[in-house]
Amino acid sequence: MTNRYNRHIILSEIGQEGQDKISQARVLVIGAGGLGCPVLQYLTAAGVGTLGIVDFDVVDMSNLQRQVLFGTSSLGENKAIAAKKRLEDLNDSISINVYPEKLTHKNALELFNQYDIIVDGSDNFATRYLVNDASVITNKPLVFGAIYKFEGQVSVFNYNNGPSYRCLFPTPPEKGAVPNCSEVGVLGVLPGIIGNLQANEVLKIILEIGKVLSGTLLCYNALNSQMISLKISKSEKEIEATRHKKEHFHTYEVEEVCELENKNVSIVDLIHDSEVQIIDVREAHETPKIEGLHVLSIPLSQLETQLNKIDQNQKKAIFCQSGIRSKRAVSILTELGVKHCYNMIEGAPQIQAYLEEQHKALPNGR
């Protein structure tokens, strides 16, 4: 085995002792889809001693654009089982346990207790909240990843008494507010990038090296190759509320996405409304800047320290590059008692394109 892991062992930060830690680790991966495939592939190659794979879905032709563990011969087969076949060929010296079933409140705690680290590769909010809560209750570090069109996010929750997923997003979004990949699409290489970042965090946790992404949300944009880091504050209230679910956890149903008051607005609705303050929560270096619209720029990371710039008497319409950070901004402001905050359904590129079309439609382009 020394030859297989030679490139690890000759790293002074890892060595044989570090490789032994990897071989003794037990990692459970929720979902063998776009994110789960690269996570599983690289953790298998790294020699993680025991891998668990939870996925009740089957391989579909539309998966092959990004779920690179599978091929046409896998079509119609359970993803966890199909993944195991490929991974055993990659490394037959590790143990791979498959759970071709749906993760629920009834089986989550028992499963999580068998592993050291949990990796969330799920693609829906109900499962993310379930995975978070089970990780908090079993006190397991959770390596989180999410993708949307051309953007991805990575973080580590519940690590060394750090923040949880609910500290970042206390409650699920409105029903239908965030479409999934099958509705809006996703760049095929994006889950590979984000999944590999997740695998990297797993290895850092196992090896106890580097700086783990606890308390930090790393956001990656594949179109401009930009990465930004956002601070996540710990909420003792959210964590304690989750821990109190332990006794009756198996009786809970999967948390449904909330049916709340519609907090989404469109640039079409705002273009002629002078009573709205439009706020851009992107970072200062992000482009394009919006031309033809009066916009207040406050990066999401500075939102809480620049509340004095926000007009409490006007409606607030908030946008970012794609709609992910703006939804978080609405949540933060609402929690801080700022009323009448709305998320713009268009991101910056769509807003600028709409304004340009409106300009062209004017007589003589005026």
| SS3 state of residue 64 | helix
- Euclidean distance between CA atoms 254 and 143, whole angstroms: 20
The reported pLDDT for the residue numbered 184 is 67
The reported pLDDT for the residue numbered 357 is 79
The reported pLDDT for the residue numbered 261 is 40
- Euclidean distance between CA atoms 37 and 50, whole angstroms: 16
Listed residue (112, 105, 130) closest to 248, CA to CA: 105
Q: How many CA atoms lie within 13 A of 200 on its CB side?
A: 14
The reported pLDDT for the residue numbered 264 is 77
> How does pLDDT run across 86-117, given as a tens digit for each residue?
999 999 999 999 999 999 999 999 999 999 99
- Euclidean distance between CA atoms 72 and 300, whole angstroms: 43
Neighbours of 231 (CB within 10 A): 11
Tokens matching residue 74: 């896998």
Residues near 289 by beta carbon (within 8 Å), at least 6 away in sequence: none
CA distances from 331 to 170, 212, 281 (A): 9, 26, 13
Tokens matching residue 266: 């469109």
- Per-block mean pLDDT, blocks of 10 residues, the chain (366 long): 91 96 98 96 98 94 93 94 97 97 94 98 91 97 95 97 94 61 78 97 98 96 93 94 90 54 71 82 80 87 89 89 84 84 86 79 56
pTM, entire model: 0.72
The reported pLDDT for the residue numbered 178 is 56
- Euclidean distance between CA atoms 121 and 49, whole angstroms: 20
The reported pLDDT for the residue numbered 364 is 56
Residues near 119 by beta carbon (within 8 Å), at least 6 away in sequence: 27, 28, 29, 30, 36, 39, 142, 143, 145, 198, 202
The reported pLDDT for the residue numbered 256 is 44
Looking at residue 124, the DSSP 8-state letter turns out to be S
